[in-house]
Structure 1
């Protein structure tokens, strides 16, 4: 494990990430920049190629911004594979598959079967109960949430989510890791939507309702929050960036757990049904074409 002079918490030097989509690739980027060797697991060869390209593009963007001198030595520490057994020597593995309870449980079970009993397993879930996910693994005391934010390279926040079995020692270690990765930890207990998703989705849903009611245009609603409240990005543009389908899934889960105030607006459901998912589909509340 690597260690900084200012931080007494050792940080994992061999890490794994399962799921190489936008979030997973961003997490890999953060771990690589912190000096770790990273194994990225995807479902098939085609997904592996796409995930590797995402990470490479992200690292090369860091070079263009002057954060890194060159990309090749960093990318040399990346291994992309379809075999979860390649995680055997990892000290930390982060699950970053889509926000689906059954899929995440299956993924966490595969991770637990591959790694050693001392390895820490974390979920990047933005809303699902840590305790429900922990049922999929043995030694749940070594399990926590590490909720990164999109886009990971630019975001400075990581929610450290504590499940019922997460040990105080792991809490301290996780906070130290997040700081070593150049980000700020916010510790929350296991609760639907945690802190960030619960608040962020509430604002996003109300913005969609306002658009649906014709209160203002998407651009003007977003400008009200960026210029009036200092948000770095308006709630509708952020929803486009995250993905309307992703936020719809979170809203439905929060509605089931917290009640009708999180019921998704009709406009949101209609847009997802039409395939207007935001930036990834080329169209959402904005035209990304």
Structure 2
């Protein structure tokens, strides 16, 4: 496996492209508009500059990495010779199904199709293709260069051959993998999201302030950051979409908090918009 395509180059897609190029893969990235492509490439360039500033790579190595990444708005150009395609579009099942249907019609039969979804059904996504045995969940965590884990999620028809190839790819990126069956939220988000949501409900009910909840979980449970700071970092729209998926699947326990819904409704999505549960300098 030498050629990787990443579809969608927001925070996750740009990170996946970066670590793939860092580890010697030839990478093509694709998004729906030139503006989105340029924004994604700017994120990658910034990551390269950060790596140079920290002494993790030389300017020559950074230049070589960037040359290893080609950007386009054309889906066929991005994936027609890819060994592995990783979808990293927004957490919307309709969009993901459309992407996988298109990928199936363009990609070589040997291409593995992976989704970076954090909660959606791999089996349902794979049903849009004629190769469900070659479809797998490959859930990276944000920020991709720093986070060591990748969840590999098996759809009902995902083959062991596909799993082994995906596991080898992740290992080549320096990641540790865990294997999960196809179930909403998989492992990490099935456990993490209720924790964040319960923290929000606790504050909604007036039991404590968000500042004290974050302090309590950092000092009492050794969290590296508190639930509210983490939700802001992840993106409140992302958290809400994931919780909604879990609520639809498992019922009332996962119902998103009112404060989370209100913030998203008003466009306050966390660090990326300058305001969420906390305010941030732009």
Provide the TM-score with structure 2 as the length reference.
0.96
The alpha carbon displacement at 1:223 in A equals: 2.1
1:202-252 alpha-carbon deviations (Å, 9 max, x no partner): 111011112212222223212222222222222211111111111111111
Distance in 2 between residues matched to 1:39 and 1:215, nearest whole Å: 49
The residue that corresponds to 2:67 in the other structure is: 76
Structure 2 counterpart SS, 1:40: strand
Distance in 1 between residues matched to 2:165 and 2:219, nearest whole Å: 37
The alpha carbon displacement at 1:258 in A equals: 0.6
Distance in 1 between residues matched to 2:95 and 2:43, nearest whole Å: 22
Distance in 2 between residues matched to 1:111 and 1:65, nearest whole Å: 37
Structure 2 counterpart SS, 1:209: helix
The residue that corresponds to 2:33 in the other structure is: 44
The reply on whether 1:94 has 2:86 as its aligned counterpart is yes
Gaps of 5+ in 1: 1-11
The residue that corresponds to 2:44 in the other structure is: 55
The residue that corresponds to 1:164 in the other structure is: 156
Distance in 1 between residues matched to 2:32 and 2:127, nearest whole Å: 23
After TM superposition, the structure 1 = structure 2 runs for residues 220-259 of structure 1, keeping only pairs within 5 Å, are 220-259=212-251
The residue that corresponds to 1:5 in the other structure is: none
The residue that corresponds to 1:177 in the other structure is: 169
Structure 2 counterpart SS, 1:138: coil
Give structure 1 regions of 4+ aligned residues with deviation exceeding 3 angstroms: none
Gaps of 5+ in 2: none
Provide the TM-score with structure 1 as the length reference.
0.93
After TM superposition, the structure 1 = structure 2 runs for residues 1-289 of structure 1, keeping only pairs within 5 Å, are 12-70=1-59, 71-86=62-77, 87-289=79-281
Structure 2 counterpart SS, 1:276: coil
1:52-111 alpha-carbon deviations (Å, 9 max, x no partner): 111111122122222212211100001010101111111000000000000011111122
Distance in 1 between residues matched to 2:204 and 2:53, nearest whole Å: 40
The alpha carbon displacement at 1:51 in A equals: 1.1
Distance in 2 between residues matched to 1:180 and 1:225, nearest whole Å: 34
Distance in 1 between residues matched to 2:130 and 2:58, nearest whole Å: 41
The alpha carbon displacement at 1:173 in A equals: 2.1
Distance in 1 between residues matched to 2:219 and 2:48, nearest whole Å: 31
Distance in 2 between residues matched to 1:172 and 1:39, nearest whole Å: 23
Aligned pair count reads 278
